[in-house]
Each structure stands twice: as C-alpha cells, then as structure tokens.
C-alpha cells in the first residue's frame, strides 16, 4: 500500500521526506519519489523504481535537493506497472502543480476522458496523474487551492489521501482525504503530513487525523482544516503515547521479533483497558450488559490473521456464552449477500482499520441497519470511525507485515467479550466469571515464559527450513490455532503449508502425506486430545515427521511425535494465546534461517487498502 509524506517549515525538506518514507516502507511498495519546491520557487521531482535506497542514493540522502517544502511517496502499484514513470509525485504539464496520492480513483477513466476533451495529455498509466490534472483543471478554473481541492473532493469517486503543492502558494501543502489514512502534525519548526504515525512520530506526538471529505492546508507551524463547504473546522489533536522506539526496531534484528516479544506487554495493556478491579468494563465501547443480552447472533468478518481470531472467537463464544457466531473472510462476506437478523451484532476485526475488504463489509452491514462493532488497533482509522462502537487493541504500531502482537491483542478482546456475554446472559456464575478473569490476567506471564523457551524451536527451524509442504492439524480451538500457525509459516518462510481440521484429513488430503512430510499437531483441547492423537497416528503410519504442540502434562503424546513442544497449562479457551507463540517463533526462525526478508515478505503488504 502506498505511503505519503510531506513537510513544510524551516528545515531542508528532502532529508525529512526520505526519513518519513523509510518509516512507511513496511506498507509495501515498489517505487518511490519526492518533489521539493526549490529556492527558485520551482518544483523539482525525483522518482526511482525499486526500493527507497535507490532514491536516497540518487539524492545523496536528500542533500542534492534544496528546498523547505516538499512531498514524498512510496508506491504499491495498483494502476500501471511499477516503473519510474508511474512512480509519484505526478504533475501538470508545467510542474506548477505536483501531487502524491494513496488510494484508488475509481472513476479515473471518466475523468481522463473529460480532461482529454479539454486538451490534456497523459504520460503515465496511473489514476494519480489523472487526479493531479483534475486538481490542475479546477485550480485553473477557481484560482484557489482550497476551491480546487474541494472541487476535486466532490468530483472524484474512490479512495484517496492526496497531498498537493501549488507553485503560486509557496511553503504551503494542501491535502484531501477519503478512506485512505492521512495525518497531520505541527511544530514551531514546521508542519508534517503522512499516511501513518511512524513517519512523523520523531517530530511530534500531537497528531490530527484528517477525516473523510476534509481538506487541510499545512504551512510552517500551522494547519488549517476545511470541510467541503469551505468552512474552517476546528480539530482536536490526538496525543500519540507510543514510544519512539515503538516505531523502530528497538535493538531486535527484525520488527517481527521485537513485536513478538512485546506480546506480554500488549496483552497486559489490552487486558487493563478492558478489566478494572477484577471486573470487565466495556463502557469505553459503550457496550452495556443489556446490549449484550439483546444480541441474537454475532457476525464476524475480517481478513488474514484477523479472520483467524474470528474463528477462535466463534468456538469460544458459542461454547461459553451459547451465542451463535458466524465468521467469514471479509472478501467473501461482502459479496455473498448475507441474511442479517435484526438483533445481529456485526463485528469487524482489523489491525490497520483500513483493509478495503473489511471496510466494505462493515459498510454493507451498516447499510443493512445492523449494529456494528470494530476491533481495531489504529486510532482514528476508517473502520474505527465508521463502526457504531469500537474496541481498540493496545498493540501499538505493528510494523512487521506478518502480524503477531496485534493478533494476540485481538484474541484478548474476544476472550473478554465471550466472558462478558456469558456472564451477562447468565451462562456462568460469579465464581466462574472471576476465575476466567484471573486466568486471563495470568496470560502475560505465561506468554513470557513461552517466549523464553525458544532454543529448541531455533534448532527445529533449521531442521525444517528445506521442507516443501507442511500440514498443521487440530480440532476445535486447536484447528483455529493451526490456521494462524500455517499462515505465519507461509507468509514469511514461503513454505507451502495447510491448516486442516484433523478429523477431515482422512477425507482426501491424507493422500498427500508421504515419507518425511512434516505434520504439526496442535493438541491443547484435552477433551479432543484422544481423537487428535489418533489422527497423528494415521499420518505417522504413512511416514509423516510429526511435531506435537501440546500443554504441559500431556506427556503421553511424546510417543507419537519426533518433536514435542509444551506450553504452560491455562484455561482451554485461552490456549491460543500460548500456542500461537511457538508457531510464530518457529516461522520466524525458519524465515531467518532461509535469509528471507522477515518484516517485508515478498508480494505482501501490511495493510491492503485495495480490493
């Protein structure tokens, strides 16, 4: 997904732009560029294909591009191949207007036809060049940047976070936003804009989130916000309490390793945001017990690992609270024309709060009049703003493309929701309620102990790093754990793996098991253990190499596996929080052993805001 940055102030812009873009690399991109207003008052544009380092080298880390006002961009190609010509910034013919954009202009063809009819020509395949020339068209018409941005906002369809410099308005940058994230920060030295917090956190903690259909003008030390009626609007800054190193690696080799080790703290912070004095408190989400009692069915939609949290939530919530739960991948849910009940609660899970499919599923549910709840990590994100109610995970910025700490934080939210639903609906008594809460509060220390037990996983990772196919098998909640373990391995080690309901393997897929096939059996749900063990026996008898992941005490399983990893005992409902840790670590060490780019795996992006 693209990243945009901008700066205007006392300092040289290019180094600040490059630094900001480097903090957005995690979003996934294939080319980059900057534009700076030089000392002659002209816009200089420099763009390169490939990684940011290519651009930085070309600019001698920004030294060769003089000027104190500029915009920058990392592009994740959506319209037009990755190339220098398609890279942003884009401009009008005389470069008096330059722009960077994150999002998709859906009516770009119609707009291109309109502009062509007005004599415009085009040099790239991008929707952004069209967007830039639409701004130019309206600027020529109104001779006002704000008017041009308002007309742009009213004329284009789609998603955008767009930043524009006008030659006639030195040291000012104009932005508009719809559905793609955009923040603004101001200091005495200068003002900043970016797609995400890490890009400007080292300069300021007071962040303004630009809302949909809002326009802003930033100049040195000041930001002015407008609505589409051209009215100046007052916005309150949000104080970002993330540590600076929270957006840096903090001494770890990779963001993923850092973020895995942040899980005890993240789980603690998320628990503390939902449990006060030993009791669950959902008032921040405005979710009362009456409302919880009124829910007839929970409908969950999400993508990737967030979807896997939804699968865990289904098993736990149905078993504990006796509330029906449906869970879908958002890209399927949004197109299958689901039937909603009037007392459904639609829940969307999203770390970034910007995933296009999840956002679309939320909008569909709202259009159907369903109550909506978002479980989101990023403050002020689109999904957070558009859902009726929000529960924030407290994972802080998650940079590594493969999620770990956000997944763990999301699990906590759904444990808490399941327990509160069960209690509010009289399915558990006060003692069970308190016991479950105590067991949740104990999870961070258990997670820490699993994290420290990684020596054997490092060894096992080197043994399996050449595997071509891996199966993760389990039943019930263990199957849900397998889904996440399998995705982790695929995402960062590029080893093909499948998560399979252990009881289903014999219906076809077991034909793939042969000598040396690695099968990882997850057995934390004791009431299903016996069945799962027999599934391990089935694959072992066909030559499989078996790793077993189980809880301390189940020592009888060792006969069935070449490698057994034990996690501490905890309530079966909460086992995913512990079982996922060795699977994260194993995947990490396999990827590291293969010398792969752990934090930015090929083809992947941290947040997919395109469909």
Contact 388, 347 (CB under 8 A): no
Kindly write out the interface string for residues 305-334 of this chain, putting x where it contacts ligand BG6 by CB under 6 A and - elsewhere. xx----------------------------
Q: Which residue has the tokens 């490059």?
A: 18
Task: Tell me: does residue 607 bind ligand BG6 (CB under 6 A).
Answer: yes
| Number of residues binding to ligand BG6, judged by CB under 6 A | 17
Q: Which of 350, 497, 525, 561 binds ligand BG6 (CB under 6 A)?
A: 350
The CA-based angle 523-524-530, given to 5 degrees, is 50
Please, which residue, 306 or 417, has the CB nearer to ligand BG6? 306
Report which residue's Cβ sits closest to ligand BG6: 304
Report the alpha-carbon distance of residue 297 to residue 274 in Å, rounded.
22
Q: Which of 447, 608, 609, 610 binds ligand BG6 (CB under 6 A)?
A: 608
Tell me the HSE value of 575 on the side-chain side, using a 13 A CA sphere. 26
Report the alpha-carbon distance of residue 33 to residue 55 in Å, rounded.
7
Cβ atoms within 10 Å, residue 239: 8
Phi/psi of residue 538, nearest 5 degrees: -60, -45
Stretch that binds ligand BG6, among 243-251, 447-455, 550-558, 599-607 (CB under 6 A): 599-607
Q: What are the DSSP calls for 232-267, one per residue?
A: EE--PPEEP---GGGGS-TT-SSHHHHHHHTHHHHH
Task: Map the footprint of ligand BG6 across residues 396-455, applying CB under 6 A.
Answer: 401-403
Task: Map the footprint of ligand BG6 across residues 270-309, applying CB under 6 A.
Answer: 303-306
Task: Tell me: does residue 355 bind ligand BG6 (CB under 6 A).
Answer: yes
Q: Is 606 a catalytic site residue? A: yes
Task: Tell me: does residue 149 bind ligand BG6 (CB under 6 A).
Answer: no
Q: Is 2 a catalytic site residue? A: yes
Task: Tell me: does residue 535 bind ligand BG6 (CB under 6 A).
Answer: no
* Active-site entry in 69, 490, 606, 607: 606
Q: Hey, is 308 helix, strand or coil?
A: helix
Stretch that binds ligand BG6, among 62-70, 212-220, 553-561, 598-606 (CB under 6 A): 598-606
Contact 484, 520 (CB under 8 A): no
Phi/psi of residue 152, nearest 5 degrees: -60, -50
Torsion of CA 579, 583, 586, 591, to 10 degrees: -160
Please, which residue, 135 or 256, has the CB nearer to ligand BG6? 256
Report the alpha-carbon distance of residue 269 to residue 248 in Å, rounded.
19
Q: Which of 287, 418, 605, 610 binds ligand BG6 (CB under 6 A)?
A: 605
Task: Tell me: does residue 126 bind ligand BG6 (CB under 6 A).
Answer: no
Rounded to whole angstroms, what are the CA distances from 46 to 33, 58, 237, 580? 6, 8, 32, 44
Task: Tell me: does residue 351 bind ligand BG6 (CB under 6 A).
Answer: yes
Q: What are the DSSP calls for 532-571, one per residue?
A: HHHHHHHHHTTT-EEEEEEETT-GGGGGG-SEEEEE----
Task: Tell me: does residue 387 bind ligand BG6 (CB under 6 A).
Answer: no
Stretch that binds ligand BG6, among 45-53, 245-253, 274-282, 602-610 (CB under 6 A): 602-610
List interacting residues with ligand BG6 (CB under 6 A): 303-306, 350-352, 355, 358, 401-403, 604-608
- Active-site amino acid positions: 2, 606
């Amino acid at each position: 997904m693209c990243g945009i940055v901008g700066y205007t102030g006392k300092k040289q812009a290019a180094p600040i732009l490059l630094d900001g873009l480097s903090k957005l690399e995690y979003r996934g991109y294939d080319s980059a560029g900057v534009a700076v207003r030089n000392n002659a008052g002209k816009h200089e544009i420099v763009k390169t294909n490939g990684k940011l380092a290519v651009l930085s080298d070309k600019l001698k880390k920004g030294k060769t591009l003089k000027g104190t006002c500029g915009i920058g961009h990392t592009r994740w190609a959506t319209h037009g191949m990755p190339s220098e010509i398609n890279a942003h910034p884009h401009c009008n013919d005389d470069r008096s207007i330059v722009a960077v954009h994150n999002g998709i202009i859906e009516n770009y063809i119609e707009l291109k036809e309109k502009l062509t009819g007005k004599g415009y020509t085009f040099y790239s395949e991008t929707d952004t060049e069209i967007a830039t020339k639409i701004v130019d068209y309206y600027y020529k018409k109104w001779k006002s940047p704000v008017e041009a941005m308002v007309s742009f906002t009213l004329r284009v369809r789609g998603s955008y976070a767009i930043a524009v410099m006008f030659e006639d308005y030195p040291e000012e940058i104009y932005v508009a936003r719809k559905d793609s994230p955009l923040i603004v920060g101001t200091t005495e030295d200068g003002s900043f804009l970016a797609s995400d917090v890490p890009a400007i956190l080292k300069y300021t903690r007071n962040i303004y989130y630009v809302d949909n259909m809002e326009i802003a003008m930033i100049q040195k030390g000041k930001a002015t916000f407008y609505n589409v009626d051209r009215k100046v609007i007052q916005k309150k800054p949000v104080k970002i309490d993330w540590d600076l190193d929270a957006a840096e690696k903090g001494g770890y080799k990779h963001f993923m390793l850092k973020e895995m080790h942040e899980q005890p703290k993240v789980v603690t912070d998320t628990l503390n945001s939902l449990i006060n004095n030993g009791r669950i408190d959902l008032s921040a989400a405005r979710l009362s017990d009456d409302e919880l009692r009124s829910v007839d069915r929970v409908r969950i939609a999400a993508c990737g690992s967030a979807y896997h949290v939804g699968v865990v939530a289904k098993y736990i919530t149905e078993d504990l609270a006796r509330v029906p739960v449906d869970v879908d991948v958002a890209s399927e849910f949004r197109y299958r024309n689901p039937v909603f009940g009037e007392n459904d609660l639609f829940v969307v899970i999203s770390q970034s709060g910007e995933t296009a499919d999840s956002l679309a599923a939320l909008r569909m549910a709202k259009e159907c009049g369903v109550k909506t709840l978002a479980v989101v990590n990023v403050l002020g994100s689109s999904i957070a703003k558009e859902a009726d109610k929000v529960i924030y995970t407290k994972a802080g910025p998650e940079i590594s493309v493969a999620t770990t700490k956000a997944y763990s934080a999301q699990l906590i939210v759904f444990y808490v929701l399941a327990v509160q639903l069960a209690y509010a609906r009289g399915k558990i008594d006060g003692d069970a309620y308190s016991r479950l809460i105590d067991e949740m509060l104990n999870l961070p220390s258990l997670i820490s102990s699993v994290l420290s037990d990684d020596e054997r996983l490092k060894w096992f990772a080197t043994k399996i790093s050449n595997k071509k196919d891996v199966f993760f098998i389990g039943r019930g909640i263990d199957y849900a754990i397998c889904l996440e373990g399998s995705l982790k391995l695929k995402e960062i080690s590029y080893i093909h793996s499948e998560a399979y309901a252990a009881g289903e393997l014999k219906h076809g897929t077991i034909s793939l098991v042969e000598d040396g096939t690695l099968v990882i059996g997850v057995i934390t749900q004791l009431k299903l253990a016996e069945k799962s063990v027999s599934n391990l026996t089935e694959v072992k008898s066909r030559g499989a190499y078996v790793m077993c992941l189980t809880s301390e005490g189940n020592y009888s399983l060792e006969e069935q596996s070449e490698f057994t990893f034990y996690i501490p005992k905890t309530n079966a409902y909460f086992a995913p929080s512990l079982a996922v840790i060795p699977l994260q670590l194993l995947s990490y060490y396999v990827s590291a052993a293969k010398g792969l780019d752990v934090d930015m795996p090929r083809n992947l992006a941290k947040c997919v805001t395109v469909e």
